[in-house]
């Protein structure tokens, strides 16, 4: 069976999406990166190989996310795309008329504005943790609540309390204060959901025209409390896709499929599932060649230097023999 593989390497999770020639999802994986992206990538490859044995042939590979270059080197990618492009491609494939994409992941959040199937504007927030998956995980853990139940508990609230959501630190201290005052847990959680949505709209979505259909994706889309808070604040129905948690990887797979179909005489660069068995290590150093002081990343495969990036001038990256 001919397939296309998409890999999205983020700071919190590394996601895989395997699709067939009709674009249908065959397998998705959501793996915690845990500060070890190389290990997450190789583990994902092993899991897919074990699941399908020799019944699939990878015809193209796409990578995205903050670790897209790393993944591309390890597995052999045909297309390497940023998160905006990948998330938009996956969303458009399922909802061709989408005009706004709200995406909140483990460590960052973004908004993508589309008109007539084309990305016309976007914004990202990579500075503040308030509202991201890791922040919500922490609050759920602190309250002794499974993160899977966070949204359902918040929806029970009849009188949500107002939480200061402009900053993760202030939001947490305000929650603790409200707990000490005796507020119900569901009222605090609903207030937190509302605060985080206000923070997102005031910062990430500032100045953006949000038009329906609005699609909510990323790991936080699983939180029904956040979804409801968006609907109440925007006054529109929010759509959560079936594969909301791996949309970046799905988009990368779709873009790989599109690229290979447009270049039918090009053979995929995929290095095979054997790549998971090779030893990969990474190290970095600061270039002293000019005032830019670029941080250079070096990737080794079985102790052989195979890739470098991070330099603005190409001095180091172009020195690797292809």
Does residue 111 share a domain with residue 81? Answer: no
Does residue 286 share a domain with residue 217? Answer: no
Does residue 227 share a domain with residue 265? Answer: no
Bridge-based pairing state of the strands 280-286 and 25-32: unpaired
Does residue 112 share a domain with residue 31? Answer: no
Q: Give me the domain span that covers residue 311.
A: 280-319
Does residue 137 share a domain with residue 223? Answer: yes
Does residue 210 share a domain with residue 269? Answer: no
Does residue 126 share a domain with residue 41? Answer: no
Does residue 80 share a domain with residue 134? Answer: no
> How many domains is the chain built from?
3
Sign of CA dihedral 307, 309, 252, 105: positive
Global pTM reads 0.86
Does residue 159 share a domain with residue 212? Answer: yes
Contact 310, 296 (CB under 8 A): yes
- Render each residue's pLDDT in the chain as its tens digit; 322 residues: 899 999 999 888 899 999 999 999 999 999 988 888 999 999 999 999 999 988 899 999 999 988 899 999 999 999 999 999 999 999 999 999 999 999 988 778 899 999 999 999 999 886 666 667 778 888 888 888 888 888 899 898 888 888 876 676 777 788 888 878 888 888 888 988 888 888 888 888 888 999 999 999 988 898 999 999 999 999 999 999 999 999 999 999 999 999 999 998 889 999 988 888 888 888 888 988 888 888 888 888 888 888 887 888 888 877 764 4
DSSP 10: -
Does residue 54 share a domain with residue 107? Answer: no
Give SS3 for 314: coil
């Amino acid at each position: 069976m001919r397939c296309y593989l998409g890999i999205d390497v983020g700071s919190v999770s590394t996601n895989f999406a395997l699709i067939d020639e009709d674009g249908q999802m065959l397998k998705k994986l959501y793996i915690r990166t845990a500060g070890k992206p190389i290990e997450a990538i190789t583990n994902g490859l092993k899991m897919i190989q074990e699941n399908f044995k020799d019944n699939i042939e990878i015809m193209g590979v796409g990578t995205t996310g903050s670790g897209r270059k790393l993944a591309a080197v390890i597995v052999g990618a045909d297309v390497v795309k940023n998160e905006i492009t990948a998330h938009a491609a996956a969303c458009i494939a399922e909802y061709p008329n989408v005009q706004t994409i709200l995406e909140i992941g483990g460590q960052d959040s973004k908004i993508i504005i589309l008109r007539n199937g084309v990305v016309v504007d976007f914004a990202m927030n990579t500075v503040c943790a308030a509202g991201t998956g890791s922040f919500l995980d922490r609050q759920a853990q602190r309250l002794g609540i499974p993160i899977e139940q966070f949204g359902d508990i918040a929806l029970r609230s009849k009188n949500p309390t107002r939480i200061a959501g402009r900053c993760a630190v202030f939001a947490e201290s305000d929650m603790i204060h409200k707990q000490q005052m005796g507020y119900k847990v569901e009222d605090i959680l609903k207030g937190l959901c509302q605060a985080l949505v206000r923070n997102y709209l005031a910062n990430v979505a500032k100045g953006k025209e949000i038009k329906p259909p609005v699609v909510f994706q990323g790991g936080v889309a699983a939180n029904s409390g956040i979804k409801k808070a968006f609907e109440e604040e925007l006054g529109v129905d929010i759509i959560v896709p079936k594969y909301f948690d791996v949309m970046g990887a799905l988009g990368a797979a779709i873009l790989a499929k599109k690229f290979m179909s447009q270049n039918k005489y090009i053979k995929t660069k995929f290095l095979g599932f054997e790549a998971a068995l090779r030893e990969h290590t990474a190290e970095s150093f600061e270039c002293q060649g000019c005032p830019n002081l670029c941080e250079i990343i070096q990737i080794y495969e079985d102790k052989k230097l195979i890739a470098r990036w991070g330099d603005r001038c190409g001095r180091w990256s172009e020195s690797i023999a292809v």
